[in-house]
Amino acid sequence: MLIPSIDLKGGAVVQLVQGERLAIRDDDVFRWVRRFEHFPKVQVIDLDAAMGNGDNLALVRQIASALSCRVGGGVRTTDRAKELLGSGARQIIAGSALFRNGEPDLAFAKELCDAVGRARVIAAVDSRGGRVVIHGWKTALPLTAADAVQALEPYCDEFLYTHVDTEGLMGGTNLEAILEVRRATSRRVTAAGGITTQREIDELDTLGIDAVVGMAIYTGTLDLDVPRQGGTV
């Protein structure tokens, strides 16, 4: 399944290369909301909240009222998770807060799971150079993505794995790295990071892995208007 991504920064839809360089900004957020309305799942990430620079909660509420969303960005407390779910999100995505002192923070993972229910928790595990990275991909931890998902599995219903090495570069993703995560857990896995072509989406779909796509959609490289079979929606 293809899951389009809406990344919010300063009240606009943006796409960043490697999480840093601004490549695309579109102030017409609801043009994309309308375009994605037929998708059963859409991913919304509040980058301002993730970076500790305010938030786009009012906009998230509007989007979540129109689309079936999973929402992440700044989920550091159970109160924030409940706030997002109360805004209409179907699931919340937690990332950096699930790690402390170089290892999975199982106490917080359990607290989050107990507070909102395991079915509503997606654990984001990002990897660069074979190691988990947090804090906007700037802090590398001494564990692999497979290590992380094995530890966090009891406290979430799904994992979002981002292969940071290929994120935003439009050169394709790393299927083997994704499969290592898939083999490490019995939970559902969604992959992100450089997924560019329908062929990649379909290949992941046959493996039971959903694909989050951003840059390829916003640049027009992936044409959502062409009817497809299989793993498009």
Where in the sequence numbering do the catalytic residues fall?
Answer: 7, 126
Q: How far apart are CA 94 and CA 50, in angstroms?
A: 10
Phi, psi at residue 92, to the nearest 5°? -115, 155
Secondary-structure percent of the chain, ordered helix, strand, coil, rounded to 5: 35, 30, 35
Cα dihedral sign for 4, 160, 157, 12?
negative
- Separation CA 212–CA 204 (nearest Å): 11
Q: Which amino acid is at 153?
A: E
